């Protein structure tokens, strides 16, 4: 299934320091080679059935009428679909079913944070960095428009895209706020508004998106990687204060950089000590445990409970997930 | 003084909207809170927050959107948005115009449909089990205000 979906294309030259870091991360030569190889191939065309509007069975039948071959790769998540057919550029977004909000075009790995968050009906959920809305619409579908979601975004331009996606998908349980994430949490703390679950799909250096976004090759720089953890930790620290006791947080990035992943998780464990517990994550694809050493840094062994998603393991983009529970 | 962008309709105002939708389409009840932005646009929020809680959030942080845009007040009538039609489709019992495939395509490309409906009111546009929207019908045609972002662009996609 995987091999026939691989479509090779020309990619920009990765920066030497990026390659050096990735090689250090993989250690195993064959693994590194497989990683570089898969970057040359387009990611698969994946969609998520919007169960607020239609069942996966009905959607599959409708899309098959176009001659599209639909694969449901994860038994536990029938809403997740791969379109295994050669399509014209943009065709996936032009079907009647897409225009009516029956499905959302979403990369497979990008669906994992919400699967790990396990939203339930009636819960109060905060999606702290929510644009363009792929994960917010996924949460709303899991909740069947019950409970409520606060979907926050700082950029007005991105809010327009977020609002448009929420509308197309028929999301009625969500309030969109425009505020810097940490400041938003401080306001909610003052108001004593607390959440059952929080998703922090944090801004990151985006190394995991190289297969679909060429510009990441050009924009990649080590300064960004060194400066982001402060922002990422600050978002988490403030979000933690408005999480209910017993509530859960998913911290996710679409990067492989340990500074933004295990480095931040390590700092979270140091800061919150016995107030927090790192959780095992249930996701339907192969993942690797978090690393405990990077350059001169040694991390808390508990960071092994985090998940590294590598493109070569499942033919997806790259991702990182950590799940926490608030104990006190 | 802080201005509130959204006006939450009280029960009397909500009832007025429900009555109009009942007359127009047979819709009996709108589940959720209706909010108004500007003079015409109506939003539907179905989350589990009461009016007081919404106001508290609004007083603390800038809100860009509450719920989904579901209808617009046009003179004495209500025009449902595509989402409004989808959300309330199970209650819609009248003024439904079922288009054939050719007319459905014309409609979804953003053009008027020349069809004798014999009606002079807002109608629900349907093709097979697809609810496509709500639009004003005159006796000989149905006008078209499908937003550009929701129009078909590929002529083969319905074939």
Å from A190 to nearest chain B CA?
9
Å from B17 to nearest chain A CA?
18
A177 vs B54: CB contact, 8 Å cut-off? no
pLDDT tens readout for residues A71-116: 999 999 999 999 999 999 889 999 999 999 999 999 999 999 999 9
Å from A180 to nearest chain B CA?
10
For chain A, what is the mean pLDDT? 95
* A147 in Cβ contact with A122 (< 8 Å): yes
A177 vs B153: CB contact, 8 Å cut-off? no
pLDDT tens readout for residues B16-52: 999 999 999 999 999 999 999 998 999 999 999 999 9
pLDDT computed for residue B88 by the predictor: 97
For chain B, what is the mean pLDDT? 91
A187 vs B32: CB contact, 8 Å cut-off? no
Of B46, B149, B153, the CB nearest to A145: B46
* A162 in Cβ contact with A176 (< 8 Å): yes
B47 vs A170: CB contact, 8 Å cut-off? no
Share of chain A above pLDDT 90, in %: 91
Q: B158 contacts in A (CB within 8 Å)?
A: 96
Q: Tell me the pLDDT band of B153, cut-offs 50, 70 and 90.
A: confident
Å from B50 to nearest chain A CA?
11
Cβ-based neighbours of A36, under 8 Å, separated by 6 or more: none
pLDDT tens readout for residues A231-249: 999 999 999 999 999 999 9
**Which residue's entry shows tokens 């809680």?**
B53
A148 vs B68: CB contact, 8 Å cut-off? no
Q: Tell me the pLDDT band of B5, cut-offs 50, 70 and 90.
A: confident
**In B12-129, at which residue ranges do the beta strands (DSSP E only) sit?**
33-37, 41-45, 63-66, 68-74, 77-80, 96-98, 113-114, 121-127
pLDDT tens readout for residues B61-99: 999 999 999 999 999 999 999 999 999 999 999 999 999
Of A94, A166, A170, the CB nearest to B87: A170
CATH number of A109-326: 3.40.50.150
Residues forming a β-bridge with B96: B124
Give the residue extent of every domain in chain B.
1-94, 95-159
Residue to test with chain B: of A66, A167, A171, A242, most B Cβ within 10 A: A167
B108 vs A99: CB contact, 8 Å cut-off? yes
| Interface A:B, Cβ pairs < 8 A | 112
Q: B60 contacts in A (CB within 8 Å)?
A: 187-188, 190-191
CATH number of B1-94: 3.10.450
Alpha-carbon gap, residue A39 to A20, rounded angstroms: 16
pLDDT computed for residue A213 by the predictor: 87
Q: What is the mean pLDDT of residues A198-211?
A: 96
CATH architecture, range B95-159:
Roll (2.30)
Here the tokens at position A157 are 């331009």
Q: Is the predicted pLDDT of residue A278 greater than 70, yes or no?
A: yes
- Going by DSSP bridges, is the β-strand pair A243-253/A319-326 parallel, antiparallel, or unpaired? antiparallel
What Cα–Cα distance (Å) separates residue A219 from each residue in A15, A254, A265, B50, B85? Answer: 10, 15, 25, 45, 43
pLDDT computed for residue B154 by the predictor: 64
Q: Is the predicted pLDDT of residue B12 greater than 90, yes or no?
A: yes
pLDDT computed for residue B158 by the predictor: 52
Q: Hey, CA dihedral for B28, A120, A99, A85, is it positive or negative? A: negative
Q: A124 contacts in B (CB within 8 Å)?
A: 48
Residues of B with CB under 8 A from a CB of A: 32, 44-49, 54, 56-57, 60-69, 81-83, 86-87, 108, 130-132, 149-154, 157-158
Residues of A catalogued as catalytic? 254
Closest of A13, A31, A22 to residue A225, by C-alpha: A22
B157 vs A66: CB contact, 8 Å cut-off? yes
pLDDT computed for residue A13 by the predictor: 86
């Amino acid at each position: 299934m995987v091999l026939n979906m691989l479509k090779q294309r020309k990619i920009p030259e990765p920066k030497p320091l990026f390659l050096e870091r990735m090689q250090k991360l993989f250690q195993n030569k064959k693994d590194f080679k497989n990683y570089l190889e898969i970057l040359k191939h387009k990611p698969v065309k994946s969609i998520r059935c919007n169960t607020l509007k239609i069942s996966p069975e009905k959607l599959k039948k409708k899309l098959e009428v176009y001659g599209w071959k639909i694969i449901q790769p994860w038994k536990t998540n029938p809403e997740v679909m791969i379109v295994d057919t050669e399509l014209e550029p943009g065709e996936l977004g032009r079907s009647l079913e897409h225009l009516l909000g029956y499905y959302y075009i979403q990369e497979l790995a990008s669906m994992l944070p919400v699967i790990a968050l396990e939203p339930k009906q009636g819960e109060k959920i905060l999606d702290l960095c929510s644009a363009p809305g792929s994960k917010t619409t996924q949460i709303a579908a899991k909740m069947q428009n019950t409970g409520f979601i606060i979907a926050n975004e700082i950029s007005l331009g991105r809010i327009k895209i977020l609002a448009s996606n929420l509308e197309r998908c028929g999301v009625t349980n969500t309030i969109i706020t425009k505020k810097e994430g940490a400041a938003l949490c401080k306001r909610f703390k003052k108001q004593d508004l607390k959440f059952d679950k929080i998703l922090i799909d944090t801004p990151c250096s985006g190394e995991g998106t190289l297969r679909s976004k060429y510009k990441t090759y050009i924009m990649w720089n080590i300064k960004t990687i060194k400066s982001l953890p402060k922002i990422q930790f600050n978002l988490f620290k403030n979000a933690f204060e408005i999480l209910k006791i017993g509530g859960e947080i998913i911290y996710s990035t679409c990067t492989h950089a340990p500074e933004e992943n295990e480095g931040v998780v390590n700092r979270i464990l140091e800061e919150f000590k016995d107030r927090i517990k790192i959780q095992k994550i249930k996701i339907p694809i192969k993942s690797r445990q978090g690393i405990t050493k990077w350059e001169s840094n040694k991390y808390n062994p508990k960071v092994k409970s985090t998940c590294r998603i590598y493109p070569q393991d499942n033919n997806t983009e790259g991702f990182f997930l950590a799940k926490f529970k608030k104990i006190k | 003084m802080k201005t509130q962008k959204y006006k939450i309709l009280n029960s009397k105002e909500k009832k007025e909207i429900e009555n109009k939708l009942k007359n127009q389409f047979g819709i009996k009840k709108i589940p959720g809170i209706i909010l108004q932005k500007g003079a015409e646009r109506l939003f539907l929020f179905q989350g589990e927050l009461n009016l007081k809680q919404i106001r508290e959030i609004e007083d603390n942080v800038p809100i860009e959107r509450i719920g989904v845009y579901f209808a617009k007040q046009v003179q004495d009538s209500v025009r449902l948005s595509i989402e409004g039609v989808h959300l309330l489709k199970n209650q819609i019992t009248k003024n439904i115009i079922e288009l054939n495939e050719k007319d459905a395509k014309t409609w979804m490309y953003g053009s008027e449909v020349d069809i004798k409906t014999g009606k002079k009111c807002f109608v629900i546009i349907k093709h097979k089990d697809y609810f496509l929207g709500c639009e004003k019908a005159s006796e000989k045609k149905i006008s078209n205000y499908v937003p550009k972002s929701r129009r078909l662009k590929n002529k083969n996609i319905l074939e």
